[in-house]
Amino acid sequence: MDIDGLLERSELHAILSCIADGVIVTDKKGKLFHLSSAAEKMLGIEKSEVIGRSISIPRLLGQKTPPLKSLLVCWKTRDCKFLECPVHGQNDSRCWTSLGTFCGGKTQKTFQDKLNCCPDCEIYQVNSEILKEPLRTLVEEVTIEKPTRKVFKVKTSPALDKEGNPLGYVRTIHDITLEKEVDLMKSEFISTVSHEFRIPLTSIKGYVDLMLEGDAGDINETQQEFLAIVKKNSDRLINLINDFLDISRIESGRIQFKMVSLNIGEVIEEVITSFGELMERKGMILNLSIPEGLPQVRADHDRIIQVLNNLVSNAIKYTDAGGKITVAVGQDGNHLVISVSDTGLGISPEDQRNLFDKFYRVDSTLTQEIGGSGLGLSICKTIVERHDGDIWVNSEAGKGSTFSFSLPVFKKAKRPRPKLIKQGMRILVVDDEPDIANLIQVYLQKEGYYVIKAFDGEEALELARKEKPDLITLDIMMEGMDGFEVLRRLKADSSTASIPVVVISAILDEEKGYRLGAADYLAKSIDEDKLTYTINRLLGRVDEGRKKVLIVDDDQDIVAFLATSLERKGFTVLKAYDGDEGIRVAKSEVPDLMLLDLRMPNVNGYQVIEVLKKHDKTSQIPIIVMTAYDFDESKTEILNLTAEQLSKPFSMRILTSKIRDLMRERQSRGDR
C-alpha cells in the first residue's frame, strides 16, 4: 500500500484535521499528500497550492534556500555522535561532518558522487528529499521570518506499513514562538538581575577579604570564624550568579566563541596553578600527565579554562582531604582528550545519566553539605559541544570519577612550548612536599628565576654548597633534619652563610627563624604576591619607585576597597570617580597602570579609553577594564586597545597578578 492509499480513508483525514499541531504527510520522495488545516494556518499556505507537489519542507516553512547545513545529514554519524565520518574522516573532501555540513562541492551531481563514495554513512536526506528513511523520529527547530517571525518544532517520523516498510513521512509542526519569547525574557531577566547583584557583591567580597587579612585591625577568633562564613557564602552567591549568567549568555547566543590555536598543556598548567593553594590546604596529591609534542587544539581560551576550572574544582570538592587528582591529555585521532580523575566520592550509574542536566545534583547528604548549583557540568557540556567536542564521565560510586572531554586538533600549527626565560638568578626551593615545591617553582619561574629543588635537609645542604644559589626558600617541618637545623648549618658554613634564606612555613616561629639568620619569614599557605615581592626585594629586583595605579570607578565603595588592597601590596594609588576626572588625572599624573570601570554616568569607560589612546602622553598606559555587565560587542575595537578585561566581582589575587604581569611586561619592553 502507498501512503496515499493509507490516507484515502476519510476517518483518518478527520482524525488528522483534529490535531492541534500542524500535520504534513509526504511520500518517500517528498511528494505532499496531506496538509492539515492547523498546518495551513500556521504556515500561511493553501492546501490546494501544494498538495501533490514535491515541495521541500524548508520552502514550505517559508525558508528561501535551505541552509547548506540542511543539505545533507549523515544519519550514522549523527546517531552515534561520532565527530566525523567513520570512513573518510572529517576533513576528507569526499565527506561531511556530524552536523551535516557538506564539506564537498556544491552541485547536486558532485554531491551524488560523494554520496556514493561513502557507503558506510546512511544518508537519509538531501535537499530535504528523503533518500533513506530515518529510523526514528527526528526533531528540528525551524524559524520563519514572514509574514511574522515564528519558531516551530518539527518532528519527522517514518510512516510504516504492516511489514515495517516505509511508506512516507509524517511531520508534526508545533508552534513554540511563545515559549521561545518567554525563554528569552527569562534569560534577559536573569541577566539583568544578576548584573545588578554583582555590584554590591564586589564591595561585600572586597571588604570581607580586607578584614580577614587584618586590614581593619586585629580580629579575634570568633570574628574571624564569622567573617569566613560571610566570605564563603558571598563566594557561593557570586559563583551562582556567574553560572546563571553563563547559562543565559550561552543559550541566547550572546557569547561569541573566539576560536584560536591553543596549547592545551599550557592552559592546564594555568588552571592547576590557580588551585595550588586549595589543594595544598586539603593535602591533595596532583598528577599531571601531559605528553610532549601534542598538537594544538582549536578552542576559545577563556571557555576551556572555564571547563577545566569546573572539572578540577569538582574533583577537589568531591574528594576527601589527602586524595589524588590526575589531569591527563591524550590524542584520539583528530581530537585531544583531556581527562580529570579523582579518588573521591564517585557517582552511581543512575546519577551519571543525568549529571549534565541543568541543576542536577546527586541527592546525598555529603553533596548537599558541600554545596553547589548543579549548573557547572551543564555549562561544560554546552561549551564543549560548541567546540564540536564531547564530554563524558566514567565513575564508580565510592571509588572516584574521571570526567573527560574532547577538542578538535588545530590542523596547521605545531608550536613548541615557549621556554621560560632564565635570568641567571637561581633559587633553591627546599620542601619535602613535592607539590608545594612545584607550586613555588611555578611562581618563581613566572618571575624568570631558575629553580633547583631539594626534598630533605641533607639534599638541601649538599645542593646549596654545590650550586651556590642566589637565594633559598626553606620549609621548616620536614622529615629527618628540620628546617631550623638546615638554616643553622647553612649559616655556620662559610660557603653558604651569605645566601639569603626565606623561610616558608606553617610553623609561625619567626623569632627563632630570624635569630638563626633567616632573611624573611613567610607563612603558609603561600601568597604568590608576597612570595615574589619578598624574593624580588631580597635579590634587588624591586623598583625603588612605587608604581602608580589610577582607579576610575563611580562606585565609591569599590574604589575604596581597591585602593586599600593595592596600597597594601606596595602601589601608590590615584583615585577618580568619573570618566572626566579619570582623563584629567591620567593626563596630569601618567600612572603606570589604570583600572577603569566601563559603565559610568556622563563620560563612560569606552570614551575614556578612546581619549587616552589618542594622546601620545597617555596612549601607552596599560588599562584594565572592569565591569559588572556584559562587554559591549559593538565596542570590540575599543576593548582591543585595553590590556585586560575583568568581570566584577573578581578576586584581588587575580587582579594583582594581572597588574604585576603587565608591569613586568612593560618593564621588559622598556616603556618606562
**Angle of helix 376-386 relative to helix 301-317, nearest 10 degrees?**
150
Least distance (Å) between residue 299 CB and ligand ADP: 20
Q: Is 427 in the site for ligand ADP (CB under 6 A)?
A: no
Q: Is 362 in the site for ligand ADP (CB under 6 A)?
A: yes
Give CA separation, 369 vs 17, 161, 231, in Å. 54, 55, 17
- Looking at residue 96, the DSSP 8-state letter turns out to be B
Buried b (16+ CB within 10 A) or exposed e, 409-435: bbeeeeeeeeeeeeeebbbbbbbbbeb
Give the residue at shortest CB distance from ligand ADP: 372
Least distance (Å) between residue 227 CB and ligand ADP: 24
In this chain, which stretch among 247-255, 365-373, 413-421, 444-452 interacts with ligand ADP, using CB under 6 A? 365-373
In this chain, which stretch among 222-230, 366-374, 504-512, 559-567 interacts with ligand ADP, using CB under 6 A? 366-374
Q: Is 389 in the site for ligand ADP (CB under 6 A)?
A: no
The correct pick among 355, 460, 502, 566 for binding ligand ADP (CB under 6 A) is: 355
Least distance (Å) between residue 375 CB and ligand ADP: 6
**CB contact at 8 A, 167 and 161:** yes
Q: Is 367 in the site for ligand ADP (CB under 6 A)?
A: yes
DSSP assignments along 390-435, one per residue: -EEEEEETTTEEEEEEEEEBPSS--PPPPPPPP-S-EEEEE-S-HH
The correct pick among 372, 500, 582, 605 for binding ligand ADP (CB under 6 A) is: 372
Report the distance separating Cα 577 and Cα 398, nearest Å: 54
Give CA separation, 472 vs 255, 273, 523, 524, 625, in Å. 46, 21, 15, 16, 37
Report the distance separating Cα 367 and Cα 448, nearest Å: 42
Residues pairing with 72 in the sheet: 126
**CB contact at 8 A, 327 and 312:** yes
Cell 638541601 appears where?
Answer: 460
Q: Which three cell numbers stand for residue 337?
A: 582528550
Q: Is 314 in the site for ligand ADP (CB under 6 A)?
A: yes
Q: Which lies closer to ligand ADP via its Cβ, residue 372 or residue 582?
A: 372
Measured in degrees and rounded to the nearest 5, phi and psi for residue 329 equal -130, 140
Least distance (Å) between residue 244 CB and ligand ADP: 12
Least distance (Å) between residue 346 CB and ligand ADP: 6
Span 399-418, contacts to ligand ADP by CB under 6 A: 401
Q: Is 310 in the site for ligand ADP (CB under 6 A)?
A: yes
Q: Which lies closer to ligand ADP via its Cβ, residue 262 or residue 362?
A: 362
Give CA separation, 556 vs 463, 564, 566, in Å. 52, 12, 15
Q: Which lies closer to ligand ADP via its Cβ, residue 63 or residue 364?
A: 364
In this chain, which stretch among 83-91, 375-383, 415-423, 541-549 interacts with ligand ADP, using CB under 6 A? 375-383
Span 62-81, contacts to ligand ADP by CB under 6 A: none
Task: Give the residue from 250, 233, 360 showing the smallest Cα distance to 306.
Answer: 250
Q: Is 626 in the site for ligand ADP (CB under 6 A)?
A: no
Least distance (Å) between residue 301 CB and ligand ADP: 21
Report the distance separating Cα 54 and Cα 36, nearest Å: 17
Q: Is 347 in the site for ligand ADP (CB under 6 A)?
A: yes
Q: Which three cell numbers stand for residue 663?
A: 608591569
Least distance (Å) between residue 313 CB and ligand ADP: 8
Q: Is 241 in the site for ligand ADP (CB under 6 A)?
A: no
Least distance (Å) between residue 393 CB and ligand ADP: 8
Q: Is 376 in the site for ligand ADP (CB under 6 A)?
A: yes
Task: Give the residue from 219, 30, 48 showing the smallest Cα distance to 130.
Answer: 30
Please say whether the dihedral angle defined by the alpha carbons of residues 435, 436, 438 and 442, taken in this order, is positive or negative: positive
- Looking at residue 62, the DSSP 8-state letter turns out to be T
**CB contact at 8 A, 30 and 54:** yes
Neighbours of 167 (CB within 10 A): 22
Measured in degrees and rounded to the nearest 5, phi and psi for residue 252 equal -90, 5
The correct pick among 375, 454, 526, 663 for binding ligand ADP (CB under 6 A) is: 375
Report the distance separating Cα 429 and Cα 531, nearest Å: 12
Q: Which three cell numbers stand for residue 604?
A: 563612560
In this chain, which stretch among 286-294, 370-378, 493-501, 519-527 interacts with ligand ADP, using CB under 6 A? 370-378
In this chain, which stretch among 149-157, 313-321, 550-558, 559-567 interacts with ligand ADP, using CB under 6 A? 313-321
Report the distance separating Cα 392 and Cα 410, nearest Å: 22
Q: Is 382 in the site for ligand ADP (CB under 6 A)?
A: no
Cell 570617580 appears where?
Answer: 577
Tell me the per-residue interface mask from 193 to 232 with ligand ADP, x by CB under 6 A, - otherwise.
----------------------------------------
Q: Is 323 in the site for ligand ADP (CB under 6 A)?
A: no
Q: Is 377 in the site for ligand ADP (CB under 6 A)?
A: yes
Q: Is 374 in the site for ligand ADP (CB under 6 A)?
A: yes
In this chain, which stretch among 360-368, 481-489, 582-590, 661-669 interacts with ligand ADP, using CB under 6 A? 360-368
Q: Which lies closer to ligand ADP via its Cβ, residue 26 or residue 373?
A: 373
Least distance (Å) between residue 590 CB and ligand ADP: 45
Q: Is 306 in the site for ligand ADP (CB under 6 A)?
A: no
In this chain, which stretch among 212-220, 369-377, 551-559, 654-662 interacts with ligand ADP, using CB under 6 A? 369-377
Q: Which lies closer to ligand ADP via its Cβ, residue 362 or residue 502?
A: 362
Using DSSP's 3-state secondary structure scheme, residue 604 falls into coil
Angle among Cα 30, 33, 34 to the nearest 5 degrees reads 120
Least distance (Å) between residue 124 CB and ligand ADP: 35
How many residues line the site for ligand ADP (CB under 6 A)? 20
Cell 619569614 appears where?
Answer: 521
Q: Is 273 in the site for ligand ADP (CB under 6 A)?
A: no
The correct pick among 88, 303, 361, 658 for binding ligand ADP (CB under 6 A) is: 361
Cell 500542524 appears where?
Answer: 22
Which residues bind to ligand ADP, rule: CB under 6 A? Answer: 310, 314-315, 318, 342, 344-345, 347, 355, 360-362, 367, 372-377, 401
